[in-house]
Chain A
Amino acid sequence: MQAIFILLVFQLAGELSVQLLHLPLSGNIMGMVLLFVFLLIHGRVPESLAFFTSKLLQHLALYFLPVSVGVVTLWPLLKQEGFQIIAVMVISTLIPLVLCAWLLDKMLQRKGW
């Protein structure tokens, strides 16, 4: 219960600060930043929060489903430009993925990791 309370308070604080200060971020990311700063000041993660978060994040994929089903609304567009869109999507995802993994791996290897 304490963990849910903490998360919701920070989610709300993030949303409020974004709306009141007209920040270019989304409220949820701002909430994450605020919670991170809180943890830095607090010096440790409350036990119940650590437990609840690991359970919550285990099912992260589930929370993407409602938005993802939204592709059904894009059918007319996909019929027109679908092939190009998919090609661009695949290439522009894979290049940064492989390049960043390779770059970081090489740099860490140099440090003896």
Chain B
Amino acid sequence: MDKLMHSPLLWMTLTLVAYQAGFWLHRRLGEPILMPPLLWSLIILITVVVVGKVDYQTYFQANSFIHFLLGTSTVALAVPLYQSLPRMKTAAIPLTITLIVGSLLGAGIALALASMAQLSPSSVLAFATRAVTTPMALGIAEKIHAPLALASAIVIISGLVGAIAAEPLLKFVRNDIAKGFALGLAAHGVGTARALQISPTAGAFAALGMSLNGLLTALWLPSMIRWWLS
């Protein structure tokens, strides 16, 4: 029994069941926009972990294979990126301008608001990486000595916020390219998953926005933080 409590068999199955149950619940409840499947899956998992007094490290380690696929998927994003290349070229200038605005705003607003709200210095730092996809955010957070768990939670939850708000807030946007690109920029991985549901075009441009934003932000943010702290 004790062996089972530490086994991938139990905890990976739980994650998969929660993932499926999220979709099932979402459908049963009439597909409410403000409660996407991922949120249900999370609620189920967190409830089990908290109520069952499961050690998070145990849960995480048992799920390391699923977590590993996050990295493989990041690599795989090169494929939709490549496939969107012809369209990317025809709109290169608008995309570049939006990317620069998005990268600066994404980190800038988060940092400014966090210091205005008088959060503790380490919480402020954790906000610096808000706009960047999780694996990259953790890479940057390490470089600027921000608390990793908080940084990753902020990235994921703000991704959820963006994904949830996409439908009501982006109604006025006509072009799927603009919807997708903005989702990738502002809500990274979760936003990309959401954009893929809108249309393949939106998904491809979300992947583009997410990866370009990650790259660009990784280049300017660490030196900016060093300057800001000095």
A interface, by DSSP: helix, strand, loop or mixed?
helix
- Contact of B139 (CB < 8 Å), options: A25, A31, A74, A99: A25
Interface residues of A in 23-44 (CB under 8 A from B): 24-29, 31-33, 35-36, 39-40
Complex Cα distance A104/B209, Å? 12
B7 within 8 A of A: no
| A interface residues, tally (CB under 8 Å) | 72
Q: Residue of B at shortest CB range from A101? A: B182
How many Cβ-Cβ contacts under 8 Å join chain A to chain B? 298
Tell me the minimal C-beta distance from A47 to chain B in angstroms. Answer: 11
Cβ–Cβ contact A104 & B67, under 8 A:
no
User: Which of A7, A64, A66, A100 contacts B181 (CB under 8 A)?
Assistant: A100
> A58-81: which have CB < 8 Å to B?
58-74, 77, 81
Does the CB pair A90–B161 fall under 8 Å?
Answer: yes
Asked if B41 contacts A65 (CB within 8 A), the reply is yes
Are B105 and A61 interface neighbours, CB within 8 A? no
**Inter-subunit contact B80/A74 (CB<8 Å):** no
- Measured in the bound complex, the distance between the Cα atoms of B195 and A110 in whole Å is 23
Does B10 have its Cβ within 8 Å of any Cβ on chain A? no
Find out whether the CB atom of A108 lies under 8 angstroms from the CB atom of B105: no
Task: Enumerate chain A residues within 8 angstroms of B134, measured Cβ to Cβ.
Answer: 64, 67
Of the candidates A72, A97, A108, the one whose C-beta lies within 8 Å of that of B186 is A97
